[in-house]
């Protein structure tokens, strides 16, 4: 059984796929065509765009993630923050909704941002560069 959120997510994906060649598609048009709350579409679209445009996930993986299922992946994931790809062999991805109602893409149970930072720290340690210190105190 797919939840209402999952059904809405799939409808959004299908709408985007049907109108892909048209160019820019305003979020309000997607919401209107699918009779889905604009607020819900606005919350989910950044995640869908990130998965498709930055991580190059195919529509099948995105569809399963939008059904709020865990999806196993392997391959390389690109981080624009570090301008490099990181290898993953057995990672599990999911989309979770936080207490504020925002959607967060998680890899191996942590936020994708923290996952990429962890991978970068592992890379730095492997080549002998010490982990950067997070000194937030002020010097006078």
pLDDT in tens, 20-50: 766 677 778 888 888 888 887 788 888 888 8
Is the model's pLDDT at 107 over the cut of 90?
yes
Query: What pLDDT is stored for residue 140 in this prediction?
Result: 60
In this structure, are residues 75 and 62 in contact, taking their beta carbons and an 8 Å threshold?
no
* Model pLDDT, residue 136: 64
The answer to whether 34 touches 12, Cβ cutoff 8 Å, is: yes
Question: What values do phi and psi take at 39, rounded to 5?
Answer: -60, -40
pTM: 0.72
Dump pLDDT digits (tens) for 49-106: 888 888 888 888 888 888 788 999 999 999 989 999 999 988 999 988 778 777 889 9
* SS3 of residue 16 by DSSP: helix
d(CA 92, CA 75): 12
Phi and psi, residue 27, nearest 5°: -60, -35
């Amino acid at each position: 059984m797919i939840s209402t959120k999952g059904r809405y997510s799939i409808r959004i994906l299908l709408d985007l796929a049907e109108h892909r060649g048209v160019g820019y598609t305003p979020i309000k048009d997607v919401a209107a065509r699918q009779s889905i709350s604009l607020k819900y579409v606005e919350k989910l679209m950044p995640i869908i765009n990130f998965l498709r445009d930055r991580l190059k996930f195919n529509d099948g993986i995105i569809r399963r993630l939008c059904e709020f299922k865990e999806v196993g992946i392997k391959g390389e994931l690109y981080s624009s923050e570090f301008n490099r790809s990181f290898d993953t062999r057995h990672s599990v991805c999911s989309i979770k909704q936080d207490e504020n109602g925002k959607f967060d893409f998680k890899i191996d149970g942590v936020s994708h941002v923290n996952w990429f930072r962890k991978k970068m720290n592992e890379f730095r340690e492997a080549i002998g560069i010490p982990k950067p210190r997070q000194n937030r105190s002020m010097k006078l």
